Structure 1
C-alpha cells in the first residue's frame, strides 16, 4: 500500500518538477532580455533639478560613457575613478566651448547603475544645460534616459532590490523629517534584508520537504526533518502576523496621517484649520453650517506628515446639501487616524459628562467604537469666566478622558499647547522610523505578505494529506516574498514602480 502511494506521489512530484523548471526559465528570461537590450545603448539626462541654479549635474550611463566623456572634454586618458577633475566641456560637432566644469568618472561595476557612468557638474544656467544635453544628443551611441531608467538599471544589475528602489523613490519625494528617516532606512536595505532572511528560511524548509519526498523511501531522510519544517513554518507564520499587525504605520507616514477636525456647527473647526495652516483654507462665518464639504490641507507637525481635514458641523438639518456634508463628515471621522473633537465652551456648563456627550454625538464611543486616538479641543476660552476656567483645569486632570486642550482661535492663546499635544500623540502612535523593526511602507508589500501568510496557513491544511501540495504552498510563499524584492516575477510591476521616478534618476 505504501509503495502504491509512493508511486502516485512520485508522478505528482515529477510533474511539479517539470512545471517548476519551465516557470524558472520563463521568469528568468525578461531580466536577461532587458540586460542585453540596455547593454547596447548609453543613456544621458539632467539629474539635478530644472531651472536656474548654481550647479547642475548631467549623468550618463552605459558602455559609451567613456567615449562621450573624451569627445566632450578632449581628454586623452580617463580621469581617476571617483575623483573630481576640472576641465573644459566642448561641443563635439562645432568645437565650441560650452562650459568649464567638473567631471567625475565611475567605472562599472563600481557605480550607481553598475555600468560605466560619468557625471558632469556644470553651471546651472538653462543655456549651459541645454547646450551640453544637445551635445550629448548628437552622439549616435547615446539617447535620452526615460523616467527612472538609471535606477532601473541599478536594479537590473543587482545594485538595488525593489524595496531599496522604492525607498529611494520615497526619499526623493520626502517632505518631512520622519518621511526622510523612513525612506532612508528602507533605502539602506533593512526591509529587504528582513524579507531575504524569511525567503532563505522558506527555501531551506522547501528543500527539506522535497528531500523527504525524494529520499524518505530509501531511509536516507529521518522523520524528524518534517517536524523541524513544521516548527519553522509556525515561527514564520507568527513573525509574518506580527509584521502585518502594524496599524499600517509605515504607509501612513509615507502618505500622511489623517487628522480630522469634527464637532458641532460654529465650534471653531474652520478657524482652527486656518490658524494651524497659517492661511485662509476654509471660509469662516458666524452662520451655522457654512462648511458643507471636507476641506484638506497638508501640514508638517514635528516632522510628521499629516493631512488635516475640516468637516461639516454635526447636526440635524433639513437642507439636503448640508445633510450630505454631515454624512461625509461622519464617514471621515470613522477613517481618522487622529480625531480632534472641537467643542464650543463659551455658553456651556462644563463637566466630564458634557464632554463625553459631545464625543458620543460624533457617532462613536471612546471606550468602544471609532478612533482610539482622540484630542479634545475646548475652543473660545477667551469667553469663559474664571470659575469655568478652574473647572476646565480640573477636567484636564481627570482620568478616563482623552487629552484636553484649552484654546482660543480668536486670540491664538493655547495653540502652542494644542500643537504640542498633537505632536506627542503622533510620536506615541508612530514613533521613530529608525527604531525597532522596519515597517511596511507599500500597499503591494502588504498584499504579497498576506498572500505569503495565506500559503503558510494552507501548509497546515495539506500537511497530513499530501506532501507535494505542502511543497507547492512553500514555493508559493517563497515566490510572494521574492516578488516584493524583485527576485522573481517582477516584470509586471517594474513599469509601475519606475514610472514614479523623475527623469535623470
Structure 2
C-alpha cells in the first residue's frame, strides 16, 4: 500500500447487476472526477452525469466528498453506474490511464484508520458487520462500529490518567507546600470501581463470542438415535447422510441455522458406543471433544436403539426422545418425530429461549479474543497498582501498563500486526 496513491475499486457486488458503485480515494480524486464526469458536483449531493473522457461510457449518479469529510479522510468520490461488466471495465481502464490504481483488500478502511476516522475496534466492528448473517450479529457489530466500546475504553483511560496524575503530582512536586502528602481517601475506591467496570465488560465476552460465532449445539447419542435425521429436518435440507447402518457418521459436521435472529451451529456427531473400528473410534473421540466445547447438548434417544452413556459436560442439556411416532416419549424434555414433524417447533422454541439466555437481550461489545487479552492485562495492572499503593513509583508504573493495554485495544500502539491480519479478510473496495 502506498499512502500517496489515488485508489479505485468496484465496491458493490458481483457483476452484472442493476447498479454498480465505483469508489475513489486519494489526492487525484478531484482531477479524476472532473476528467470522467465533467464539472465537480456540490459536495455530498448526488448528481446525474455522463461518464467518460473522450467518449461516453455510461451515465449515472456522481457523489463528491472533499477531505476531511469523507470515509477515508481524503478526497473521495463515488460513481453509481449500470452494473455492466464491459462498462465497469471501461470506466476503470479510463481511470487507470489517468493514474489511479486498483485498491488492495481493506485499503479504504486502512486509510480511514490512518487518518483518524476510525479506531481499531470500530474497524473490527465494520468487519463483523460486513460478515453478519443474523440480526443479533448485525446489532452487535453495529454497536462496536458505532464506537460504544471505544467510548467505554476512553472513559477507563481518563480515569487512569486522573489516578496517575494524583500519584505523579506527589512524586514530582513533593517539596511544594500545596501538594498533600497522602493520596485522597477516594483514590482506592476509584481504583476498585474502575476494576469492577472493566471486569463487568470482560464478563460479557462469552455472550459476545456466542453471538459472533454462533451457539454451538451438539447432537449426541447412540448410533441411529436420529441425529442426522434431526439435522436434516431442522436445516430443511439433506446435509447429512441418513442410513440404517450404524457408525456412518465419522466426523463432526457443522450446519449453521438462523433461529430468531441468532446463529446456531448444529454439530452432527458420530454415535457414541464401543467400537473396534479405528476410523469410527476417531469419530467418537472428535464427537466427545465437540460435546465438551458445546454450549447446548441435545441428548437423543430412540426406542429402537441401545442407550449410550451420557457424557459429563458443562453444556446446557436437553433430553430429546426421537421417533415419537413409534413409542410414547413423555419422559423426555422434548419428544420429536422427523417423520411426522411432531415436536420440531417445540424444540426450535426451546433452542431459541436457551440461545437468548446465553447471549442476553443487549448486544455485547466485548466479543474478540483480542478484547479478552487486553482487558485481562488491564485488570492485572490495576490489581498490581492496588498492591503497590505504598510505593508510588511502582503504582504509577502499573497504572501506565493498564493504560497501555487499553491503548492497544483501540489501536493507538502496536496496531500494525493486527491491521495486516484484519484487512486480509476485507473485500476489495472496503
Asked whether the 8 Å contact 2:51–2:58 carries over to 1, the reply is: yes
- 1:145 shift after superposition: 1.3
Asked whether the 8 Å contact 1:382–1:411 carries over to 2, the reply is: yes
Any residues of structure 2 matched to 1:468-483 within 5 Å, and which?
Answer: 468-483=393-408
- 1:279 shift after superposition: 2.1
- 1:479 shift after superposition: 0.8
2:371 alignment partner in structure 1: 445
Greater helix content: 1
Q: Secondary structure at the match of 2:174?
A: helix
- 1:294 shift after superposition: 1.3
- 1:260 shift after superposition: 0.6
Any residues of structure 2 matched to 1:302-381 within 5 Å, and which?
Answer: 302-345=260-303, 361-364=309-312, 370-381=313-324
Q: Give the structure-2-normalised TM-score.
A: 0.95
Any residues of structure 2 matched to 1:80-479 within 5 Å, and which?
Answer: 80-91=42-53, 95-140=54-99, 142-225=100-183, 227-246=185-204, 248-345=206-303, 361-364=309-312, 370-384=313-327, 388=328, 392=330, 395=331, 404-434=333-363, 438-464=364-390, 466-479=391-404
Q: Secondary structure at the match of 1:383?
A: coil
Q: Secondary structure at the match of 2:175?
A: helix
**Structure of larger gyration radius:** 1
Asked whether the 8 Å contact 1:171–1:184 carries over to 2, the reply is: yes
Q: Secondary structure at the match of 1:371?
A: coil
- 1:217 shift after superposition: 3.3
1:64 alignment partner in structure 2: 28
- 1:216 shift after superposition: 2.4
Q: Secondary structure at the match of 1:248?
A: helix
Q: 1:347 to 1:432 in 2, by over 3 A?
A: same
Q: Secondary structure at the match of 1:185?
A: helix
> How far apart in 1 are the matches of 2:294 and 2:407?
33
Q: Does residue 491 of the first structure (1) align with residue 416 of the second (2)?
A: yes
CA RMSD of the aligned region, Å?
1.9
> How far apart in 2 are the matches of 1:143 and 1:200?
42
Q: Secondary structure at the match of 1:474?
A: helix
Aligned residue-pair number: 430
Q: Give the structure-1-normalised TM-score.
A: 0.81
Instruction: Return 303-312 or 213-222, whichever deviates more.
Output: 213-222
1:17 alignment partner in structure 2: none
> How far apart in 1 are the matches of 2:250 and 2:46?
59
> How far apart in 2 are the matches of 1:53 and 1:160?
30
Q: Over residues 314-348 of structure 1, what are the superposed CA-to-partner deviations in whole Å (9 max), with x where a residue is unaligned? A: 12222232222222211111100111111114589
1:22 alignment partner in structure 2: none
> How far apart in 2 are the matches of 1:231 and 1:198?
14
- Where structure 1 has 5 or more consecutive residues not aligned to the other structure, the ranges are 1-33, 349-356, 365-369, 397-403
Asked whether the 8 Å contact 1:339–1:371 carries over to 2, the reply is: no
> How far apart in 2 are the matches of 1:236 and 1:204?
12
> How far apart in 2 are the matches of 1:221 and 1:346?
82
